Amino acid sequence: MAEALRTADRELVETTRSFAFTTKLESIVAWGRKNSLWPMPYGTACCGIEMMSVMGPRYDLARFGAEVVRFSPRQADLMIVAGTITEKMAPVILRIYQQMLEPKYVLSMGACASSGGFYRAYHVLQGVDKVIPVDVYVPGCPPTPEAVLDGVMGIQKMIADGAPRPWKTSWKPGVMR
């Protein structure tokens, strides 16, 4: 009897191993999250046009599970800030960011969004990180689509590793940094 049970148990374990695996809950959640990023494209300027190329047929962001572009911030978890953010736009982008649900990530695409770029000017915000926390900065003016894909992969890695994000946890809305 005991022998039969042991055999059945061993068979069960072997069968299960053929289609299942063990993992930690947070890892499997992270795996799901990183492969189904829904971008909210905040395209304001030239970078927005390059972002269209990233989504377009040649570079095809869909390969990274991020093709479901949501223009409603409530349905998105990755904000791609593509283009110059002006002082006039700052309160708007802050509100859009606040409307996104957790967990949320921000990719700053290009020199303008990252630092104001070569617009050291009276009406240009010197980097979107002054108002919202940024996870990945992609350099370029505008960055090549390859660079943007690399940035998205950076976000994916960040999600998979579950690395701490102090810039996000210490962030307070409405406080200029």
Which residues bind to other proteins, rule: CB under 8 A?
42-46, 48-50, 52-53, 56-58, 71, 83-84, 86-93, 95-96, 118-126, 141-142, 144, 174, 176
Which residue number, 60 or 158, has a Cβ lying nearer to other proteins? 60
Q: Which one, 15 or 75, has the nearer CB to other proteins?
A: 75
C-alpha angle with apex 32: 152 to 24, nearest 5 degrees? Answer: 120
Nearest residue (CB) to other proteins, 30 versus 89: 89
DSSP single-letter state for residue 124 = B
59 touches 146 (CB < 8 A): yes
Per-residue DSSP letters for 17-54? HHH-----HHHHHHHHHHTS--EEEEE-SHHHHHHHHH
Q: In this complex, which beta carbon is closest to other proteins, that of residue 114 or of residue 156?
A: 114
**Residue in this structure with the two tokens 């409307």, named with its chain if needed:** 99
Which residue's CB is nearer to other proteins, number 118 or number 167?
A: 118
Q: How far is the CB of 13 from other proteins (least distance, A)?
A: 48
The four Cα atoms 17, 23, 25, 26 give a dihedral, to 10 degrees, of -150
Cis check for the bond before 103: say yes or no (omega within 30 of 0): yes
Q: How far is the CB of 116 from other proteins (least distance, A)?
A: 9
| Min dist. Cβ of residue 51 to other proteins (A) | 11
- Measured from the CB of residue 148, what is the shortest distance to other proteins in angstroms? 12
State the minimum distance, in angstroms, from the CB of residue 40 to other proteins: 9
